[in-house]
Chain A
Amino acid sequence: MTFQGVTIGQYFPGNSLLHRIDPRVKITGVLLLSVAIFLPRAWPGYLASILFTLILVALSRVPLRLILRGLRPILIFLVITAAFNLFLTPGEPLFRLGPLTATRDGLVMVGVTTTRLLLLVIIASLLTLTTSPIRLTDGLERMLRPLRPIGVPAHELALMMTIALRFIPTLAEEADRIMRAQQARGASFSSGSLMARVRSLVPVLVPLFVAAFRRADELATAMEARGYRGGDGRTRMYELVFAPRDGVALAVLVGFVVLVAVLRLTGLG
């Protein structure tokens, strides 16, 4: 019962424009924008990046709190990086804190790096929030397919991801059951030193692994029985098809990168 509420990944179901765009375009978009974020050297460039990101957020129609939740893990990292930048960048002193001197240039660096990190995380979050794990896997596979002749196992990787996603809730439930069974035999997972707690997981992990191997074996047999013979010649129930809006989206993304590059090159941003 415990895991009926588990949602896989961060996916937030919806029907916004961002949701409907082809996952390949979105993945490419994340890559392009990651580059674009590091191009600006003056405030017009940064402003453009921030505005563009905010527009994407609005288009996704994902509740703000979910986006902010994605920032939580990097908060500590942000604070540490900010401190380093503030006190270790040489330049005109602003104020002192004990032996450390904050500089004006340092303050600027804080602004720059913080902005870049935040935008990066928000853009990556938008990808996983608006793309279901299945579509994401499909997108990745299609993009890696051209690389198959040079040995990239696109289909196998995608299949691995699909099966992993399928079994995560199942394995989580099984882990829960095993934990309870061991607790019924007097096991405790929450007391003692760190070493003790790690060791207390052995009676849970071993059966879980053994079961996982058996599952894999049975699953492989079932797949063979349904005609699985590798990735060659396989089709998909829902093939990814480029729609006009995907072309437009790609053009907009490329256009934005070009804009920011031009701003930088002309010294304006």
Chain B
Amino acid sequence: MADPYIVVEQVTYAYGREDGTDGAPVTLALDGVDAVVRRGEFLAVLGMNGSGKSTLARHLNALLLPRTGRVLVDGLDTREEHNLWPVRDRVGMVFQNPDNQIVAAVVEEDVAFGPENQGLPPEEIRVRVAEALAAVGMTAHRLRPPHLLSGGQKQRVAIAGALALRPACLVLDEPTAMLDPSGRTEVLEVVRRLNRELGMAVVWITHFMEEAAVADRVIVMARGKVQMVGTPREVFSQAERLRELRLDVPPAVQVAERLRADGVPLPRTILTLDELVEALCQLSSKG
């Protein structure tokens, strides 16, 4: 197993006034969260709205700082002011709204925004921009204005913008929530390829179970706490637990569970429809 790159230790966080003097009780958006992001892994964070998953995401690049506990990125404590920019060099972030991340009126200028902030020499910036655009497959669109792009294309530009900083880890906060199905596939494919080919760690925040199913590991959050951790198979085969947490259960798991309740001896590890079909065929061919 790879080393941890980001370590989240007993983090709590609350929005609003710290001491609750405005009369409102302090609700904890994060309530004692422990988590690890390993080098090169594809980690999915699954949860419904209000579960704390986006709040957790923003702690990974110091957009938010823990109320208690700490977050270490490549050994750097995010609470220390002098670590702010080094942390953001290491952890890139892509947000949910494709439009509200693009700053410039031309694609390649927007991808250059990050390196420009770092004060890199123009020649180096141009190299990185070209690389980043090629990595997401948007080189042909480099001179186009963003308003003429589809949602999926805009998100790819946003990813390129983060890649141009050469981060070791890319955090994507519900990147497909506002996209149509083809856009969602587009973005997920690109990110999976980047994870495989560049060895870049990916933290994929989502409420779509189908997306979490392709990750190496899944963290399930609800009510500000980590509720389940494990491989997709480990997590999604626990139908009762998922239902308790008001989460979607994969169709194959639902069907297998209902059949088992009726006495059909199906293995508990079934995750996909193909596996279910296989198991059913084996059953009916025995004896």
Contact = CB atoms under 8 A, between A and B. Distances in A.
B249 interface: no
B121 interface: yes
Contacts of B121: 235
Contact of B103 (A219, A233, A236): A219
A179 to B, nearest CB: 18
A227 B129 CA distance: 16
Nearest to B106: A134
A165 B103 CA distance: 10
Given A234-B117, A237-B129, A225 B147 contact: no
Interface string A199-224: 00000000000000011001101111
A227 B122 contact: no
Given A218-B100, A225-B61, A234 B147 contact: no
Contacts of B129: 237
A221 B58 CA distance: 10
B190 interface: no
B161 A170 contact: no
A256 to B, nearest CB: 33
A170 B147 CA distance: 6
B208 interface: no
A172 B102 CA distance: 16
A222 B85 contact: no
Contacts of A8: 105, 145
A191 interface: no
The DSSP consensus for interface residues of chain A is helix
A226 B101 CA distance: 10
B139 interface: no
B85 A165 contact: no
B100 A226 contact: no
Nearest to B93: A225
Given A170-B99, A221-B63, A234-B117, A4 B148 contact: yes
Given A134-B109, A169-B147, A235-B119, A225 B97 contact: no
Contact of A238 (B89, B102, B122, B162): B122
Contacts of B97: 215, 218
B192 interface: no
B125 A237 contact: yes
A235 B116 contact: yes
A166 B108 CA distance: 13
A237 B109 contact: yes
A227 B117 contact: yes
Contacts of A228: 113, 117
Interface string B154-194: 00001001100100000000000000000000000000000
B146 interface: yes
Interface string B232-245: 00000000000000
Given A224-B63, A238-B122, A239-B122, A215 B100 contact: yes
B46 interface: no
A130 B117 CA distance: 28
Task: For the complex of A and B, list the 4 residue pairs with the smallest distance between their C-beta atoms, beginning with the closest.
Answer: A218-B100, A237-B112, A169-B147, A227-B117
Interface of B: 61, 63, 85, 88-89, 92-93, 95, 97, 99-106, 108-109, 112-122, 125-126, 129, 145-148, 158, 161-162, 165
23 contacts: A134-B105, A162-B103, A166-B145, A170-B99, A221-B63, A221-B95, A222-B95, A225-B162, A226-B88, A226-B92, A226-B161, A226-B162, A227-B165, A229-B117, A234-B119, A235-B115, A235-B119, A235-B120, A235-B122, A236-B112, A236-B116, A236-B125, A237-B116
